[in-house]
Structure 1
Amino acid sequence: MRKTPDAIDRHVGARIRLRRNMLGVSQEKLAEGLGLTFQQVQKYEKGTNRVGASRLQHIAAILDTPINYFFEEAPSPSACAIAHQDDTPTLLLTSKDCLALARAFVSIKDETVQQKVLSLVRALGSGKAAPDALEDWV
Protein backbone atom coordinates (compact mmCIF):
# COMPACT_ATOMS: atom_id res chain seq x y z
CA MET A 1 0.00 0.00 0.00
CA ARG A 2 1.48 3.32 -1.10
CA LYS A 3 1.30 6.16 1.38
CA THR A 4 0.10 9.60 0.25
CA PRO A 5 2.65 12.36 0.92
CA ASP A 6 1.93 14.38 4.06
CA ALA A 7 0.56 17.89 3.48
CA ILE A 8 3.49 19.50 5.34
CA ASP A 9 6.04 17.48 3.34
CA ARG A 10 4.33 18.59 0.11
CA HIS A 11 4.27 22.19 1.29
CA VAL A 12 7.96 22.21 2.25
CA GLY A 13 8.80 20.57 -1.07
CA ALA A 14 6.76 23.12 -2.98
CA ARG A 15 8.53 25.95 -1.16
CA ILE A 16 11.91 24.40 -2.02
CA ARG A 17 10.87 24.33 -5.69
CA LEU A 18 9.51 27.90 -5.51
CA ARG A 19 12.72 29.29 -4.02
CA ARG A 20 14.89 27.29 -6.41
CA ASN A 21 12.92 28.57 -9.41
CA MET A 22 12.97 32.14 -8.09
CA LEU A 23 16.77 31.99 -8.03
CA GLY A 24 17.03 30.17 -11.36
CA VAL A 25 18.78 27.20 -9.76
CA SER A 26 18.30 23.85 -11.53
CA GLN A 27 17.46 20.66 -9.69
CA GLU A 28 20.84 19.35 -10.84
CA LYS A 29 22.70 22.32 -9.32
CA LEU A 30 20.84 22.00 -5.99
CA ALA A 31 21.46 18.25 -5.97
CA GLU A 32 25.14 18.82 -6.64
CA GLY A 33 25.38 21.18 -3.68
CA LEU A 34 23.69 18.59 -1.48
CA GLY A 35 25.71 15.65 -2.79
CA LEU A 36 22.55 13.97 -4.11
CA THR A 37 20.99 13.04 -7.43
CA PHE A 38 18.49 15.38 -9.04
CA GLN A 39 15.93 12.58 -8.67
CA GLN A 40 16.22 12.89 -4.89
CA VAL A 41 15.61 16.64 -5.15
CA GLN A 42 12.52 15.86 -7.28
CA LYS A 43 11.25 13.54 -4.54
CA TYR A 44 11.78 16.24 -1.92
CA GLU A 45 9.95 18.80 -4.06
CA LYS A 46 6.98 16.47 -4.60
CA GLY A 47 6.86 15.65 -0.90
CA THR A 48 7.36 11.97 -1.72
CA ASN A 49 10.45 11.90 0.49
CA ARG A 50 10.59 13.84 3.73
CA VAL A 51 13.40 16.37 4.13
CA GLY A 52 15.33 15.91 7.37
CA ALA A 53 16.21 18.89 9.56
CA SER A 54 19.93 18.96 8.73
CA ARG A 55 19.23 18.54 5.01
CA LEU A 56 16.67 21.37 5.14
CA GLN A 57 19.24 23.59 6.82
CA HIS A 58 21.70 22.78 4.02
CA ILE A 59 19.04 23.53 1.37
CA ALA A 60 18.27 26.84 3.08
CA ALA A 61 21.95 27.77 3.00
CA ILE A 62 22.30 26.88 -0.70
CA LEU A 63 19.12 28.79 -1.57
CA ASP A 64 20.12 31.69 0.70
CA THR A 65 16.93 31.77 2.72
CA PRO A 66 16.01 31.23 6.38
CA ILE A 67 14.55 27.84 7.30
CA ASN A 68 11.24 29.37 8.35
CA TYR A 69 10.70 30.34 4.68
CA PHE A 70 9.86 26.70 3.94
CA PHE A 71 7.05 26.71 6.52
CA GLU A 72 5.44 30.05 5.63
CA GLU A 73 1.75 29.60 4.83
CA ALA A 74 1.99 25.92 5.76
CA PRO A 75 -1.32 24.14 6.32
CA SER A 76 -2.48 23.92 9.92
CA PRO A 77 -2.35 20.53 11.68
CA SER A 78 -6.13 20.20 11.24
CA ALA A 79 -5.79 20.89 7.51
CA CYS A 80 -3.14 18.18 7.31
CA ALA A 81 -5.78 15.63 8.26
CA ILE A 82 -7.51 16.35 4.97
CA ALA A 83 -5.84 13.98 2.55
CA HIS A 84 -6.75 15.69 -0.72
CA GLN A 85 -6.70 19.44 -0.29
CA ASP A 86 -6.66 21.79 -3.28
CA ASP A 87 -3.03 22.34 -4.29
CA THR A 88 -3.78 24.85 -7.08
CA PRO A 89 -2.13 27.86 -5.38
CA THR A 90 0.99 25.84 -4.63
CA LEU A 91 1.11 24.47 -8.18
CA LEU A 92 0.75 27.97 -9.60
CA LEU A 93 3.61 29.28 -7.54
CA THR A 94 5.92 26.37 -8.21
CA SER A 95 5.36 25.75 -11.91
CA LYS A 96 8.25 27.09 -13.97
CA ASP A 97 5.88 28.05 -16.80
CA CYS A 98 3.47 29.81 -14.43
CA LEU A 99 6.31 31.82 -12.93
CA ALA A 100 7.54 32.77 -16.40
CA LEU A 101 4.01 33.78 -17.41
CA ALA A 102 3.59 35.87 -14.27
CA ARG A 103 6.95 37.62 -14.80
CA ALA A 104 6.08 38.37 -18.42
CA PHE A 105 2.60 39.56 -17.47
CA VAL A 106 3.78 42.04 -14.84
CA SER A 107 6.36 43.40 -17.28
CA ILE A 108 3.52 44.59 -19.56
CA LYS A 109 3.20 48.30 -18.81
CA ASP A 110 -0.02 48.97 -20.72
CA GLU A 111 -3.01 48.10 -18.51
CA THR A 112 -5.28 47.64 -21.56
CA VAL A 113 -2.88 45.08 -23.00
CA GLN A 114 -2.74 43.32 -19.62
CA GLN A 115 -6.53 43.04 -19.61
CA LYS A 116 -6.56 41.67 -23.18
CA VAL A 117 -3.91 39.08 -22.28
CA LEU A 118 -5.94 38.10 -19.22
CA SER A 119 -9.08 37.76 -21.33
CA LEU A 120 -7.22 35.63 -23.86
CA VAL A 121 -5.81 33.31 -21.19
CA ARG A 122 -9.23 32.96 -19.57
CA ALA A 123 -10.82 32.14 -22.92
CA LEU A 124 -8.14 29.57 -23.70
CA GLY A 125 -8.47 28.06 -20.24
CA SER A 126 -12.22 27.68 -20.56
CA GLY A 127 -11.89 25.95 -23.90
CA LYS A 128 -14.38 28.43 -25.38
CA ALA A 129 -11.89 30.33 -27.49
CA ALA A 130 -12.54 29.81 -31.16
CA PRO A 131 -9.53 29.87 -33.48
CA ASP A 132 -10.80 33.14 -35.02
CA ALA A 133 -10.79 34.73 -31.54
CA LEU A 134 -7.00 34.55 -31.71
CA GLU A 135 -6.78 36.61 -34.93
CA ASP A 136 -6.20 39.83 -32.98
CA TRP A 137 -3.14 38.26 -31.37
CA VAL A 138 -1.40 36.88 -34.44
Structure 2
Amino acid sequence: MSHPVDVHVGKRLKQIRTLRRLSQTDVARKLELSFQQIQKYEVGSNRVAASRLFELSQILDVPPAYFFEGLHDNANAAPSEDPGMDIVNALAAIQDEAIKSRIKTFIEDVSGLTVAKRG
Protein backbone atom coordinates (compact mmCIF):
# COMPACT_ATOMS: atom_id res chain seq x y z
CA MET A 1 0.00 0.00 0.00
CA SER A 2 1.40 3.38 -1.02
CA HIS A 3 1.77 6.11 1.56
CA PRO A 4 -0.64 9.04 0.96
CA VAL A 5 2.27 11.51 0.82
CA ASP A 6 3.97 9.47 -1.92
CA VAL A 7 0.70 9.38 -3.87
CA HIS A 8 0.28 13.16 -3.50
CA VAL A 9 3.87 13.87 -4.61
CA GLY A 10 3.33 11.56 -7.59
CA LYS A 11 0.14 13.36 -8.60
CA ARG A 12 1.90 16.71 -8.40
CA LEU A 13 4.76 15.31 -10.50
CA LYS A 14 2.34 14.11 -13.17
CA GLN A 15 0.46 17.42 -13.09
CA ILE A 16 3.51 19.63 -13.61
CA ARG A 17 5.07 17.23 -16.13
CA THR A 18 1.87 17.36 -18.17
CA LEU A 19 1.63 21.13 -17.90
CA ARG A 20 5.22 21.40 -19.13
CA ARG A 21 4.25 19.15 -22.06
CA LEU A 22 6.90 16.59 -21.20
CA SER A 23 6.47 12.86 -21.57
CA GLN A 24 7.53 10.39 -18.92
CA THR A 25 10.35 9.46 -21.29
CA ASP A 26 11.51 13.09 -21.55
CA VAL A 27 11.79 13.38 -17.78
CA ALA A 28 13.33 9.94 -17.42
CA ARG A 29 16.07 10.75 -19.94
CA LYS A 30 17.02 13.90 -18.04
CA LEU A 31 17.32 11.84 -14.86
CA GLU A 32 18.96 8.89 -16.62
CA LEU A 33 16.13 6.60 -15.53
CA SER A 34 13.56 4.45 -17.30
CA PHE A 35 10.14 5.88 -18.04
CA GLN A 36 8.76 3.03 -15.92
CA GLN A 37 10.46 4.58 -12.89
CA ILE A 38 8.68 7.87 -13.57
CA GLN A 39 5.41 5.92 -13.83
CA LYS A 40 6.09 4.39 -10.41
CA TYR A 41 6.80 7.84 -8.94
CA GLU A 42 3.59 9.22 -10.43
CA VAL A 43 1.34 6.55 -8.94
CA GLY A 44 3.18 6.64 -5.62
CA SER A 45 4.32 3.03 -5.69
CA ASN A 46 7.95 4.21 -5.42
CA ARG A 47 9.04 7.04 -3.17
CA VAL A 48 10.95 9.96 -4.62
CA ALA A 49 14.18 10.54 -2.71
CA ALA A 50 14.94 14.11 -1.59
CA SER A 51 17.85 14.41 -4.03
CA ARG A 52 15.68 13.15 -6.91
CA LEU A 53 12.89 15.53 -5.89
CA PHE A 54 15.37 18.39 -6.06
CA GLU A 55 16.47 17.30 -9.54
CA LEU A 56 12.82 17.06 -10.64
CA SER A 57 12.15 20.55 -9.33
CA GLN A 58 15.02 21.89 -11.44
CA ILE A 59 13.96 20.00 -14.57
CA LEU A 60 10.32 21.09 -14.20
CA ASP A 61 11.18 24.63 -13.05
CA VAL A 62 9.24 24.56 -9.79
CA PRO A 63 10.38 24.90 -6.18
CA PRO A 64 10.71 21.59 -4.31
CA ALA A 65 7.82 22.67 -2.08
CA TYR A 66 5.54 22.51 -5.16
CA PHE A 67 5.29 18.75 -4.76
CA PHE A 68 3.82 19.12 -1.26
CA GLU A 69 1.41 21.99 -1.92
CA GLY A 70 -2.16 21.12 -1.03
CA LEU A 71 -1.11 18.02 0.85
CA HIS A 72 -3.29 18.76 3.86
CA ASP A 73 -6.07 20.26 1.77
CA ASN A 74 -6.48 17.05 -0.25
CA ALA A 75 -5.81 14.56 2.53
CA ASN A 76 -9.33 13.13 2.35
CA ALA A 77 -10.12 13.87 -1.30
CA ALA A 78 -10.54 11.05 -3.76
CA PRO A 79 -8.23 11.16 -6.82
CA SER A 80 -11.16 11.93 -9.12
CA GLU A 81 -12.03 15.01 -7.03
CA ASP A 82 -8.96 16.96 -8.16
CA PRO A 83 -10.23 19.65 -10.54
CA GLY A 84 -6.65 20.73 -11.26
CA MET A 85 -5.86 17.34 -12.76
CA ASP A 86 -9.11 17.40 -14.71
CA ILE A 87 -8.03 20.72 -16.24
CA VAL A 88 -4.53 19.42 -16.98
CA ASN A 89 -5.91 16.30 -18.65
CA ALA A 90 -8.44 18.28 -20.69
CA LEU A 91 -5.79 20.76 -21.81
CA ALA A 92 -3.41 17.96 -22.77
CA ALA A 93 -6.15 16.37 -24.91
CA ILE A 94 -6.53 19.48 -27.08
CA GLN A 95 -4.74 18.89 -30.38
CA ASP A 96 -4.76 22.45 -31.72
CA GLU A 97 -1.66 24.14 -30.26
CA ALA A 98 -3.01 27.66 -30.93
CA ILE A 99 -6.16 26.97 -28.93
CA LYS A 100 -4.14 25.28 -26.20
CA SER A 101 -1.88 28.33 -25.98
CA ARG A 102 -4.86 30.72 -25.79
CA ILE A 103 -6.43 28.70 -22.98
CA LYS A 104 -3.11 28.62 -21.11
CA THR A 105 -2.78 32.41 -21.45
CA PHE A 106 -6.36 32.86 -20.23
CA ILE A 107 -5.72 30.68 -17.16
CA GLU A 108 -2.50 32.56 -16.41
CA ASP A 109 -4.31 35.91 -16.72
CA VAL A 110 -7.18 34.84 -14.46
CA SER A 111 -4.85 33.33 -11.86
CA GLY A 112 -2.46 36.28 -11.85
CA LEU A 113 0.48 34.22 -13.07
CA THR A 114 1.00 36.43 -16.13
CA VAL A 115 1.52 39.48 -13.90
CA ALA A 116 3.85 37.52 -11.62
CA LYS A 117 5.96 36.42 -14.63
CA ARG A 118 6.29 40.01 -15.83
CA GLY A 119 7.10 41.40 -12.38
Could you tell me which residue of structure 2 aligns to residue 20 of structure 1? 17
Equivalent residue for 1:86, pick from 78, 83, 91: 78
Q: TM-score, normalised by structure 1?
A: 0.60
Measure the CA separation in 1 of the matches of 2:54 and 2:11.
16
Deviation at 1:94, TM superposition (A): 6.5
- Larger radius of gyration, structure 1 or 2? 1
Deviation at 1:95, TM superposition (A): 7.8
Q: TM-score, normalised by structure 2?
A: 0.69
Could you tell me which residue of structure 2 aligns to residue 74 of structure 1? 71
The question of whether the paired residues in 1 share the 8 Å contact of 2:17 and 2:23 is answered with yes
SS in 1 for 2:18: helix
What letter matches 1:98 in structure 2? A
SS in 2 for 1:68: helix
Question: CA separation of 1:36/1:90 partners in 2, compared to 1, >3 Å: closer, same or farther?
Answer: farther
Question: CA separation of 1:49/1:94 partners in 2, compared to 1, >3 Å: closer, same or farther?
Answer: farther
Runs of 5+ consecutive residues of structure 1 not aligned to the other structure: 108-138
How many residues align? The count is 97
What letter matches 1:74 in structure 2? L
What RMSD over aligned residues (CA atoms) do the two structures have, in Å? 2.6
Deviations 1:61-105 (CA, angstroms, capped at 9, x unpaired): 1001100000000137xx4xx7xx51113486168643336976x
Question: CA separation of 1:95/1:31 partners in 2, compared to 1, >3 Å: closer, same or farther?
Answer: farther
What letter matches 2:26 in structure 1? K
Measure the CA separation in 1 of the matches of 2:83 and 2:28.
21
Equivalent residue for 1:56, pick from 31, 53, 57: 53
Question: CA separation of 1:10/1:91 partners in 2, compared to 1, >3 Å: closer, same or farther?
Answer: farther
